[in-house]
Structure 1
């Protein structure tokens, strides 16, 4: 009979004792099984490539997916016994992730062998990153990006034994410049520490490089574009953290880091925005013309206010009743139309385009919420084909504040409600906007008419018309994945 700190080798093919010197060697096994001590109680421990199972009292019983194990570290307690600490990622509440741990005690040689085998199985987990490129914006938010990474994120990656290369940006546009020439071979994922702005930079630099390397004409709206094959993870540290909130369910840097370790990702739609026959930008989060651009313009003028600049800009526009309306012509290709490819001309598809004309306060896209399953028959939305575009007419302050509140909360589905009669939602492949009777470009009115809000950044169109095409799955992002296991994690 084995004592509490002894390990039974009966029925196991995990360990093999050498007859010559008594040392322990490793064997490959479909299932490993030993008796180890957990909280002073002997438990039967089983391990497969998929799951670590502990059989003991009701309190101690649990199943931990290998995919959720963060680390397994063996520490010597004496010459003959050791403690193996297994830390794993545990899902709590709606979206939060936290680290839980369990300690296994037993013979030193057995604990060391289990540590080795656990680390071997962890490396076999599909999609789990082994090498990450970290890009930190030290100026984002309250200039705590580097501190947040060092104190909250780096320790988690070290526990997970993930190799990292850290690059700290030196100026605005640095990340985009770097990604436009960076070789990403050998990298499993990109981790961005900052706000939504650095994601916009990195995605634009990387996507432009991919198309250039593939010989794709990015200025042709009908060109099929190559996706960024490695996932991107956002560590929230900026003034705007919409991506992190949407994909991790919160703005906690540690939760984001744990989700990245788990390695699960999902595709995200992107718009390629064209003006004057050229690709202007890729829009990953939002695209706003009219009121959306006015808001970004006013916020940019007060950048020194930090996060408060958005509240200031919104208050100024609403209190000042400056919700402009413009005489626009909007053409759009519904998502139920055949997909457009580079061999098809604009004329060939002319009959598929629909048109809206009138006075509108703005038009915007909802890229980041494109994965919503909208079943309303008025909006036949297929996330694999297109994205949602909102066209707004002039409305009261109260109605507009309600609209903005729902957008910020991600309640796009609720915007279908009849109360939002001033709003028209369109599921599209592509859309074009042309301003009728534009103002003199030397006036402020004319300036605003030539501005576009792309992912929170102001861009000059150089014209009063542009075209945008949805590119489903052009980028993919790390995200939190639901778990049905209350004691393990997934």
Structure 2
């Protein structure tokens, strides 16, 4: 805080300049309320407009005629999510008590995190305090993107089974403070949220919230688009859902949450929801033989699908150990998939490839493991996806490629890696060679193809969920198909490093 000292004959000139500065800062804003409050132990002149609150310390003239002018504090109302009347209450009393002033609950940014903060305005006048309280409440109601009633789904089995605790301890208090009502469903099985979403009256709600990991998020995003298609009687074309989805991270990687929050932090996610921060996000449709498989954000074929399939067959293991086991086992038995790949941006391109891995991602897929994302060259809402192909190469070179994802850059600077910005991709396996964990476990040669019976399916990793598909897959990008609570971020907070390779 800077202090300027002036004599009387210079005060008027200085004040005129300060008024001009304020007019530049607030060109079309008129003052809604003006009053005196104490912040800490000092009295302040407080001004309220329709978009912000400013306060300036009141400092009297000194006996020598000098005046001290201080820079005003500023709080934007878009960062305020609740306002309460402060009272002095006796121990054990839940109501009543002498009025002390107004408390404004707001968020402040610390890096990529949003944190709860409070501004206390002290004034013992009940009439004065309630005038400010009622006016502030009305101004906050005018922010139309903020929810008032939410449908909440909690997956109690996510990651370390902490989702219920995370919601009760970190999220529910913020929703209550912001006067957000909730209707909660604790899911009991895979597909439970989808079945509820098909039947419930969505017009009662302002948004939907998912407390869980990437699997739960994928199920609810898929359900929202399907329900929008059903309501619009449009079975052939994807329809943008009316309601936004909020994601409270409670999984092991939380890729979608990190992509719209930058951190795996439930308080940050909850504050984005109560403040009504909305971000349009692209999605993909996955279709096989004319039938919709699902909607999602990302998919991996080859190495990513094989490692997930192995992990799913070891569900009895702890999650972190299961992931490490599957990764190491798949690397040990590394083999490419023979497929035909066609993709579209400006013109159709077709290649016949032996691929270790193909990834299609419509969002950057940020996570603590991969701070810049699996697909750093795409964004949340640019109407395209990033196609990453890794051709047949040695195991050591492939491992070098994987390890660079956890560093700052360079994962694509290999001759066997290609990236393309696409709007559609078609992948057609070129043989009946499928994938079988059982035959590999029995000690088959690494170079011997595993011939499966007719109808053999290939494992796909779609948003962290295992999907087995026997035929070609057509993937289309749908621009800004869904709205999520959050904002565009460039990089995720890195707190975890991979030590398994």
- Whether TM-score is above 0.5 comes out as yes
Structure 1 runs (4+) greater than 6 angstroms displaced? 57-60, 379-382, 440-443
Whether contact under 8 Å (1:271, 1:469) holds in the other structure is yes
Aligned counterpart for 2:193 among listed residues 156, 170, 175: 175
**Cα deviation code 1:309-348 (max 9, x no counterpart):** 2122112222x1x2221221111111x3xxxxxxxxxxxx
**Cα deviation code 1:80-118 (max 9, x no counterpart):** 75221222100112x011112121111121112211111
Aligned residue number for residue 235 of structure 2: 217
Bigger Cα displacement from structure 2, 49-58 vs 142-151 = 49-58
1:222-237 matches, cutoff 5 A: 223=237, 225-237=238-250
Structure-2 separation of matches of 1:380 and 1:253 = 25
Whether contact under 8 Å (1:323, 1:394) holds in the other structure is no
Bigger Cα displacement from structure 2, 57-66 vs 171-180 = 57-66
Task: Give the superposition deviation at 1:368.
Answer: 2.4
Task: Give the superposition deviation at 1:272.
Answer: 0.6
1:390 aligns with 2:403: no
1:451 aligns with 2:478: no
Q: TM-score, normalised by structure 1?
A: 0.79
Aligned residue number for residue 52 of structure 1: 53
1:270 aligns with 2:283: yes
Q: Secondary structure at the match of 2:204?
A: coil
Aligned residue number for residue 252 of structure 1: 265
1:434 aligns with 2:428: yes
Structure-1 separation of matches of 2:290 and 2:429 = 17
Whether contact under 8 Å (1:76, 1:108) holds in the other structure is no
1:298 aligns with 2:293: no
Unaligned runs of 5+ in 1: 1-28, 337-351, 483-490
1:95-244 matches, cutoff 5 A: 95-106=112-123, 107-218=125-236, 223=237, 225-244=238-257
Task: Give the superposition deviation at 1:359.
Answer: 1.2
Task: Give the superposition deviation at 1:60.
Answer: 8.7
Structure-2 separation of matches of 1:383 and 1:139 = 31
1:366 aligns with 2:361: yes
Structure-1 separation of matches of 2:42 and 2:186 = 48
Whether contact under 8 Å (1:370, 1:388) holds in the other structure is no
Aligned length: 418
Unaligned runs of 5+ in 2: 1-29, 59-68, 90-96, 367-371, 440-449, 490-501
Q: Secondary structure at the match of 1:259?
A: helix
Task: Give the superposition deviation at 1:136.
Answer: 0.4
Aligned residue number for residue 105 of structure 2: 87
CA 1:406 to 1:229, structure 2 compared with 1: closer, same or farther past 3 Å?
farther
